[in-house]
Amino acid sequence: MYNLHIATIAIIAANILVSIRGFNDIGFFERYKFSIGGIKAGQKERTITSGFLHVDFSHLLFNMFTLYFFADVVISSFGPTKFLIIYLISLLAGSLLALFFHKDEPYYSAVGASGAVTGVLYSAILLYPDMTLGFFFIPIPLPAYVLGIGYLLYSIYGMKKRLGNIGHTAHFGGAIGGYLITLLFNPSLLATDTLVVVLLALPIIILFVLEKLGKI
């Protein structure tokens, strides 16, 4: 589970190199971060480039550390090419959901690989829903799908309350991307793990129902 495949190394290297450039060149950082105003002005590449920039080393380390633990789970099931597709589609899905929810906020901006990494995490959860995960504040490991559902529900709450300086919307969008592409690559999961597939879909349905009702 903790092997470091060349595909994972390539992604981590790209994040490190682009992030360090951003740390040292504010003009570069501002030009390629996710920005509603910039994207509406035609700079569509920001939806991708922003996913390789980070605010600081701790932000970068956390995302790459999470990727390290879950990338090989996806690669072992799908191979490196499909893993890279899941990563990039999740990154784009995070940006697109942020664009959808913040389209009327021209000064909204964000950076980070969190959307892409969350997509990889949710792909791993779909593939191995019974693996156990734990966080520092949860002393007892829980089934991955339980934490996955809980995290998406927390993201909805974070989006609604604008909690912290965190891109909850991008995280949620990345999870949607990872969820959908994993099912596309392995539709048999709909038959073999129907309950988990449905349970993981519930927070997604809740999000769009709340948006339709104007509650978020």
Whole-model pTM: value is 0.93
Find tokens 């470091």 and name the residue: 4
Which residues make beta-bridge pairs with 35? 109
pLDDT at residue 89 is higher than 90: yes
pLDDT, residue 137, reads 53
Q: How high is the mean pLDDT of the chain?
A: 92
Could you report the per-residue pLDDT of 180-201, keeping only the tens digit for each? 999 999 999 999 999 999 999 9
pLDDT, residue 167, reads 81
Could you report the per-residue pLDDT of 99-127, keeping only the tens digit for each? 999 999 999 999 999 999 999 999 999 99
Tokens read off for 84: 């890279």
User: How far is residue 149's CA from residue 141's CA, in Å, rounded to a whole number?
Assistant: 15
pLDDT at residue 207 is higher than 90: yes
User: How far is residue 168's CA from residue 152's CA, in Å, rounded to a whole number?
Assistant: 9
Q: Are 167 and 115 in contact (CB under 8 A)?
A: yes
Question: Residue type for 105, please?
Answer: E
Least confident of 1-5, 91-95, 126-130: 1-5
